[in-house]
Amino acid sequence: MILLGNVGMMSIIITDPRLNTPMYFFLGNLSFIDLFYSSVIAPKAMINFWSESKSISLAGCVAQLFLFALFIVTEGFLLAAMAYDRFIAICNPLLYSVQMSTRLCTQLVAGSYFCGCISSVLQTSMTFTLSFCASRVVDHFYCDSRPLQRLSCSDLFIHKMVSFLLSSIIILPTVIVTIVSYMYIVSTVLKICSTEGRKKAFSTCSSHLGVVSVLYGADFFMYLTPDRLPELNKVASLCYFLVTPMLNSLICSLRNKDVKEALRKILEKKYIFI
Q: Which residue has the higher pLDDT, 216 or 225?
A: 216
Look at residue 197 and tell me whether its pLDDT is greater than 70.
no
Q: Are 1 and 81 in contact (CB under 8 A)?
A: no
- Residue 216, Cβ density class (10 Å: 0-12 exposed, 13-18 middle, ≥19 buried): middle
Look at residue 147 and tell me whether its pLDDT is greater than 90.
no
Mean pLDDT of 23-29: 89
Look at residue 271 and tell me whether its pLDDT is greater than 60.
no
- Average pLDDT, rounded, for the chain: 82
Confidence of residue 269 (pLDDT cuts 50, 70, 90): low
Percent of the chain with pLDDT over 70: 85
Confidence of residue 268 (pLDDT cuts 50, 70, 90): low
- Phi, psi angles (nearest 5°) of residue 232: -65, -35
Confidence of residue 243 (pLDDT cuts 50, 70, 90): confident
Mean pLDDT of 132-151: 82
CB atoms near residue 188 (< 10 Å): 16
Question: What is the residue extent of each domain of the chain?
Answer: 2-273
Residue 227, pLDDT score: 63
Confidence of residue 247 (pLDDT cuts 50, 70, 90): confident
Domain 2-273, what fold?
Answer: Rhopdopsin 7-helix transmembrane proteins (1.20.1070)
Range scoring the smallest mean pLDDT among 58-72, 90-104, 128-142, 243-257? 243-257
Residue 225, pLDDT score: 64
Confidence of residue 160 (pLDDT cuts 50, 70, 90): confident
pLDDT tens per residue, range 87-112:
898 888 888 888 899 999 999 999 99
pLDDT tens per residue, range 46-92:
888 888 878 888 899 999 999 998 998 898 899 899 889 988 988 88
Residue 32, pLDDT score: 92
Mean pLDDT of 21-31: 89
Q: Which residue has the higher pLDDT, 125 or 238?
A: 125
Residues shown for the chain: 274
Residue 72, pLDDT score: 87
Residue 224, pLDDT score: 66
Question: How many Å apart are CA 102 and CA 21, to the nearest integer?
Answer: 9
- Tell me the whole-structure pTM to 2 decimals: 0.86
